[in-house]
Structure 1
Amino acid sequence: MSLINERQDFSTIADTFLLHGSMQSPAFLDGRLCASLALHDLDAEGWLEMVCLNLGVEQPRDEPSAERLLGWRRQTLEALSAAEMNYEPLLPDELFSLAERAQGLQEWTLGFLEVVRDAGDEPRRNWSDSLREAIDDLSGLTDIETDLDDSPENENDLFALTEHARMAAMLLYTEQHPGKPQVEQVEEPGPTH
């Protein structure tokens, strides 16, 4: 079975990291990936280089690992540029505790903001007020309380914060890539009779 079109999720990528001797969460690198695709059109080679540097290895240990890491980049780029606006940060899912999920969101945000800050003020000059505000609000997520009890209230709060990060990421991508996704050109299906 080819891994090319396999959906990459948090656990799959975390397992790939473990294969390379790294216990770090993929969330931080996913935040970096998302911002790098938006601001620098990060290519596949640059992405593998960034991942390997973070994992402390020279190259992926085998072909399936390389394919998984490249699939991660590809699925992120496709989701960011899709008209459906269905991008989702690569974060721990319901199998993880709320505390682990909050920690994942915090790490994602740190990675994302690191790339945004490193880009300097130049890209920021052309941003809409709503994008500036969304990015500034994200800074607050770096200080969120991660020692959360599993409760419906905390679950709802975390969902809202994750949704904010997701929207900020898509807003950044769409403003840096006008015309992609072609949201305004989506045609309503007409009657089929």
Structure 2
Amino acid sequence: MSLISERQDFSTIADVFLLHGSMQSPAFLDGRLCASLALHDLSAEVWLEEVCMSLGVEQPRDEPSAERLLAWRRQTLDALAASELNFEPLLPDEVFSLAERAQGLKEWTLGFMEVIEDAGDDARTKWSAALREAIEDLAGLTGIETDIDDNAENEGDLFALSEHARMAAMLLYTEQHPGQPQVEKVDEDSRTTH
């Protein structure tokens, strides 16, 4: 049970990927996860299938790996639905170079936008102007320069871009789930049934 309460970060999930023989960054799948949770209410089973397919395996190699991958989904969903607005994309942190962090943001954005594109234009017509603009701006991040030097200016720019991605993901989720966070909804349902 200790795995479930532990926060899943980029390095933790990257280690699970390595355990499965994959050198890919979890950032791309995290972008897909965020958009899928917002648009499709992605189930745990479907999420696990998508990760395994991406890793080129039929199933997680062991129970701790499966728990970590499911905890990643749960953590993301909880953060997107939380009233504290504390959602953070799963991106490389300060132990990585700015170039690696920029690459992570680019990959996250590519994954996020892939799910948005699959949703089609019909879904977008129902979105607010603010959300459409945020998503259009986010699409521009798929082409960001990742070969950048470690300096304060680049770090500030990257932080601002990451913050934009974070806000766009939260805006998408809250518009698709009015009346969230889910905790309040569950409480209201339990009060009316008793």
Classify the TM-score, shorter chain. over 0.9
Q: 2:56 matched to which residue of 1?
A: 56
Q: 1:33 and 2:30 equivalent?
A: no
Listed as ranges, the gaps of 5+ residues in structure 2 are: 183-194
Counterpart amino acid of residue 18 in structure 1: L
- 3-state SS, counterpart of residue 3 of structure 2: coil
Alpha-carbon distance between aligned partners in 1 of 2:82 and 2:122, rounded to the nearest angstrom: 26
Q: 1:81 matched to which residue of 2?
A: 81
Counterpart amino acid of residue 45 in structure 1: E
Mean Cα displacement is larger for which, 146-155 or 114-123?
114-123
Q: 1:2 offset after TM fit, Å?
A: 2.2
The superposition leaves residues 17-40 of structure 1 with CA deviations (integer Å, 9 ceiling, x where unpaired) of 000000000000000000000000
1:113-152 maps to which residues of 2 (within 5 A)?
A: 113-152=113-152
Q: 1:68 matched to which residue of 2?
A: 68
Q: 1:180 and 2:174 equivalent?
A: no
TM-score (structure 2 length as normaliser): 0.92
Q: Over aligned residues, Cα RMSD in angstroms? A: 0.9
Counterpart amino acid of residue 127 in structure 2: W
TM-score (structure 1 length as normaliser): 0.93
Alpha-carbon distance between aligned partners in 1 of 2:69 and 2:104, rounded to the nearest angstrom: 18
Alpha-carbon distance between aligned partners in 2 of 1:147 and 1:60, rounded to the nearest angstrom: 33
Alpha-carbon distance between aligned partners in 1 of 2:164 and 2:84, rounded to the nearest angstrom: 17
Q: 1:47 offset after TM fit, Å?
A: 0.3
Alpha-carbon distance between aligned partners in 2 of 1:85 and 1:2, rounded to the nearest angstrom: 25
Larger helix percent = 2
Q: How many residues are aligned here?
A: 182
Alpha-carbon distance between aligned partners in 1 of 2:153 and 2:43, rounded to the nearest angstrom: 40
Q: 1:181 offset after TM fit, Å?
A: 3.0
Over the matched positions of the two proteins, sequence identity in percent amounts to: 82
Q: 2:2 matched to which residue of 1?
A: 2
The superposition leaves residues 110-168 of structure 1 with CA deviations (integer Å, 9 ceiling, x where unpaired) of 00000010011122121000000000001110110100100000000000000000000
Q: 1:164 matched to which residue of 2?
A: 164
Alpha-carbon distance between aligned partners in 2 of 1:35 and 1:180, rounded to the nearest angstrom: 16
